[in-house]
Structure formats: structure tokens, C-alpha cells
Amino acid sequence: MIDKHLFSITFACHNGLHITKKCIQSLKESKTPFDRIVVVDNASSDGTVSYFKKVPKINLIENKDNLWCGVAWNQGILFYQSEWTVIMNNDILVSDHWIEKLINIAKKNHMQILAPSLVEGSLDYDFNKFSKMASEKMKDVLRIQKPHLICAVIHKSVFEKIGYFRATPKLTGYEDQIFFNLAQDAGIRMGITGAVWIHHFYQITQRIFIKEQKLPERANIGIRDNFKQLNQSWLKRKLRKINHARLIKRYKDEELGRYQMTIHAHRLNGNFMWK
């Protein structure tokens, strides 16, 4: 077992209590130490704060306004200032020994940022059974690429090198892109492991925001001007997208050829769509 004082876990909440409860239950079942969890509530109005005040040991930070992800993540990171910090969504389920595996794999492969594999979409399958099978089958798979921030463990040296998340409210989804671009430019080693899996309920947070703002159901919550925050020319963004797409296709083809599955799936109509 890894010393729990080496890590902490943080996530932001803004309503969505029904799905947050599923996440907390999953963390409990995986024996995740609650005293290492820092929840940052961004002015929820659905009883989220009252709920967490009744959950033993969990650390709760209450913001008076919705300061969005960048600010909230920084608050959670700085609460413990651990060697390793897990940044995650509140709409995921975790698997057994997930933190221990992530940190040990990161150390073994000299990774400073590491994310688990994931299934997105409906929970119409046995996630616990699937995650055990997939973790064993894909345990040697390691994609060296920009990871996702649905869940990722980050070493403190990353913050020392490139700083924390852009603390600009309403970046609405660009906080992670800016952070990973800075990490990539700084030569920080990061990726995704096939040895750890999570389930992501997919776009829960976005749907809550869209509903609250009374936007069309298919609205894109990203603000177009936020592209400027990436501090990249149109050509540089385009080339990065092309190179990233090529890299993902190569990984996908290799994984499908060897394992008949990949480390990223979307659950659709009772089937796994490999990405």
C-alpha cells in the first residue's frame, strides 16, 4: 500500500448532487481515504454542501460564487500541497487500487502526469467486472501523449515548473488545454495507462451548465475568445491537432490489432465503441 500522505484528491462541484453521490460511493467502495479528498464547491444550490458536511473526514471548501474549474482545482491542490495530486471530475466511478496503481506506474515510467483509461457514456454494463478484465488485459499499454483531465495524477514538480491552472473563471473547458500545452512545451512526460480504468458519465457538468444558462441543448459551452488563451497561432493549433490525431490513430490501430480493444471507449447502444 502506498502512504496516503504522499497524495491528495480534489474535484470541483457545481450542483449535480445525484451524480456526485455515485462518485463518492465508488470512492468509498475502492477504500479511497476520505481524509485525503478535498471537495471545492462552486456555489451549489442543490444541497451539495449540506451533503458533504455529513460525509465524515472529507475536506470541504465553499466558494460563494461559481469560480469554475481553474480556480477550484488550484484551491484543492494548495490545500495539502502533496507530492502527488489527483485532479478529477465528480461524474466518474473508480476501480480498485486506482490511486496506488496510477502513482506506481507513473514512478516506474518516469511520468509526471498520468491518467487512467476510461469508458464514457451509459453505465449499462458491469463496470467492476469490466475494469478488472481490462486492467489485466491492457496493463502493459502506455500512451505517451497529452492525457485527459477527467482524472489524472500530477506530480508537484509540474506545478513548480509551469505553475498552476489558469485561474480565470469561465474559461469553460480550456483550463486543461492550456495546462497540457504548457506541460508539453516544457517537455513534461505525461500519458495514459491501460492498467487503471474509470467510468465517466460524460458531459454531466456541461449539461447542468447549459440547463442553468437556458442555452440550446446542443450548445457548445466554450467561449470562442478562449482560444486566444492558448497563446498559439492558428497554424500552430492546426498542426498540433493534426499530429495529435495521427498519434491517436496509430495508438488505436496498434491496440485494436493486439488486444481487440483500446484504452478509450464510448458506451453506445449496449456496445463498446473503441476510440
Q: Which amino acid is at 3?
A: D
Q: What is the CATH number of the domain that holds 56?
A: 3.90.550.10
* Domain assignment of residue 111, given as a range: 4-274
Confidence of residue 216 (pLDDT cuts 50, 70, 90): low
- Domain count within the chain: 1
Given a cut of 50, whether residue 223 has pLDDT beyond it is no
| CB-based burial, 215-237: b 16+ in 10 Å, e otherwise | eeeeeeeeeeebeebeebeeeee
The residue with greater pLDDT, 26 or 218, is 26
Block residue for cell numbers 469560480: 67
pLDDT in tens, 32-68: 999 999 999 999 999 999 999 999 999 999 999 999 8
Angle among Cα 145, 162, 97 to the nearest 5 degrees reads: 55
pLDDT for res 146 = 85
Confidence of residue 210 (pLDDT cuts 50, 70, 90): very low
pLDDT in tens, 124-147: 999 999 999 999 999 999 999 889
What's the predicted TM-score (pTM) here?
A: 0.90
Q: Give the end-to-end CA distance of the chain in Å, rounded to a whole number.
A: 32
pLDDT for res 7 = 98
User: Can you read off the three cell numbers belonging to residue 182?
Assistant: 504548457
Helix axes 68-80, 175-185, angle to 10 degrees: 60
pLDDT for res 202 = 72
